[in-house]
A and B are shown apart, each in its own frame.
Chain A
C-alpha cells in the first residue's frame, strides 16, 4: 500500500524557517518525483515544486525560487521541504504528493498534510 506520511504541525515566527518531512512507503522511492503543494486558508491549491529522488534534481515555481529547498534521503525514502524567511502569508497546510508519468503527471497519492502557522 502506497503511503506518504508527513511530519506534525509547526508554529513559527516571521523570518524563521520550517522543514517538513514526507516519509514514503509501499513503492520504489527513486521511481517517482515528489511534489510539494500548499493550501492557505481561503485559497486554492498552490504547486511549489518537485524533487527527483533518483537524481536529486529539483524544479520550483517561480514564486518560491530562492526561498525553498527540497531534499531527500534515499536510505529512509523520505523527502523534505524547507521554506525560509517565513511570512504570515506562508500560513497554510503543506502537502507532499507523488506524480505518475503514466497518469499524465497527475498526483495519484498525497500525504495527509502538515499545518504550518506563522505568527508573532
Chain B
C-alpha cells in the first residue's frame, strides 16, 4: 500500500525553525498538502498545492518539495504552533487520498 513517512516527533525552541518532512510522495506531484491538528480540535489546512497558504495562515508557514520528499517549514516557532502536523497527497490514478502518520511538534 502507498505510505507517506513522517518523523513521529520534533522538538524546537521558541523562535527557531521547525522543518517537518514527508517522504514517499510522487516525484513532481503538486497535490501535496499539510494540516495542523491541536488536541480536541479538527484538522486545519495550513499548506495546499505544495506551497500555497490559505487565507489566515501566517507567512511563517511554508511548504516545499524535493524529489520524493515534501517539507513543511515553520519559521520563528511560537508556543501556539505546538500540534500534530500531517501531510496528505491526492493520488489521481485512483482518485484516492493518503495521509502521513503525523508529526507531533513540541515547542520547548
Interface residues in chain A, defined as those with a beta carbon under 8 Å from any beta carbon in chain B:
35, 37, 39, 43-47, 59, 61-62, 95, 97, 103-108, 110-113
The count of A-to-B residue pairs whose CB atoms sit within 8 angstroms is 68
Tell me if A106 and B42 are in contact (CB < 8 A).
no
Is B21 an interface position by the 8 A CB rule? no
* B45 and A108 within 8 A (CB): yes
Are A44 and B49 closer than 8 Å at their CB atoms?
no
Q: Are B99 and A46 in contact (CB under 8 A)?
A: yes
Chain B residue contacts of A61, Cβ below 8 A: 96
Show 28 residue pairs from A and B whose CB-CB distance is below 8 angstroms, ordered by the A residue. A43-B101, A45-B88, A47-B88, A47-B96, A47-B97, A47-B98, A59-B96, A61-B96, A97-B43, A103-B33, A103-B48, A104-B30, A104-B33, A104-B50, A104-B90, A106-B45, A106-B88, A107-B33, A107-B35, A107-B43, A107-B45, A107-B88, A108-B48, A108-B54, A110-B42, A110-B43, A110-B44, A112-B42
Task: Please tell me if the beta carbons of B49 and A103 are within 8 angstroms of each other in the complex.
Answer: yes
User: Do A105 and B97 touch across chains, with their CB atoms under 8 A apart?
Assistant: yes
Q: Does B66 contact A (CB under 8 A)?
A: no
A72 to B37, CA, bound (A): 27
Question: In the complex where A44-B100, A44-B101 touch, is A106 in contact with B86 (Cβ < 8 A)?
Answer: no
- Cβ of B31 < 8 Å from any Cβ of A? yes
| 10 further A-B pairs in the complex, CB-CB below 8 A; given A45-B35, A45-B43, A105-B31 | A59-B95, A62-B1, A95-B42, A103-B52, A104-B30, A106-B33, A107-B33, A107-B35, A107-B88, A113-B42
